[in-house]
Structure 1
Amino acid sequence: MRKSFYEYLMTERNPNSHDEIAEFANNAFFDQSFPKHTDNFAEISKYLEENAGYLPTMTIFDDVWQRYLAYLD
């Protein structure tokens, strides 16, 4: 079974890093409402735009999404 985006994002966690992707992953870990079981770009993007004040720019999400797609290949 294919990993959800959230499952992939959790591989980027690093509580000791100030890298923007690691910080995104760290914050998403604590976000109880994050859509954890989907791989749908539109659903995740909409959620982040409306609810993720911890994400300073959607470009970070776009970068991680591209890594996720490469991981799935």
Structure 2
Amino acid sequence: MNKSFYLFALKYRGGHKEDKKSRFAESMFQQHDFPKAETSFQALSEYIEELAHPDLTASMFDELWEYYIEGNK
């Protein structure tokens, strides 16, 4: 079974504040209602768009999603 996007993205937590991936992961971690078990692009994308958090941007999600997909091939 593949790990969720949330678990994948957590590896970017704790990096430099200037790093967009690190800021995304930290903000994702701080969102207690983030869909932690989700593996669906559509469901995660809708959550991020509806949340409209400045550090959880759709562009960074798209970039991290590509890394996530590559790692699950």
TM over 0.5: yes
Over 3 Å counting, the alpha-carbon distance change for 1:33 and 1:52 in structure 2 is: farther
Q: Answer whether contact 2:28 2:56 (CA < 8 A) is retained.
A: no
> Which is worse superposed, 43-52 or 55-64?
55-64
Aligned to 1:30: 30
Q: Does 1:8 align with 2:1?
A: no
Q: In structure 2, what residue type is equivalent to 1:32?
A: H
Unaligned runs of 5+ in 2: none
List per-residue Cα deviations over 1:2-27 (Å, max 9, x = no partner). Answer: 10000001011125432001100011
Aligned to 1:47: 47
How many residues were matched structurally?
73
Q: Answer whether contact 2:4 2:38 (CA < 8 A) is retained.
A: yes
Compute the displacement of 1:56 (Å): 5.9
Over 3 Å counting, the alpha-carbon distance change for 1:56 and 1:33 in structure 2 is: closer
Unaligned runs of 5+ in 1: none
SS in 2 for 1:27: helix
**What value does the CA root-mean-square deviation take over the aligned residues?**
1.5
Give the Cα separation in 2 of the matches to 1:7 and 1:56: 16
Q: Identity of aligned pairs, percent?
A: 33
Compute the displacement of 1:57 (Å): 3.3
The normalised TM-score by structure 1 is 0.89
Runs of 4+ in 1 over 2 A off after TM superposition: 54-57
Give the Cα separation in 2 of the matches to 1:66 and 1:33: 23
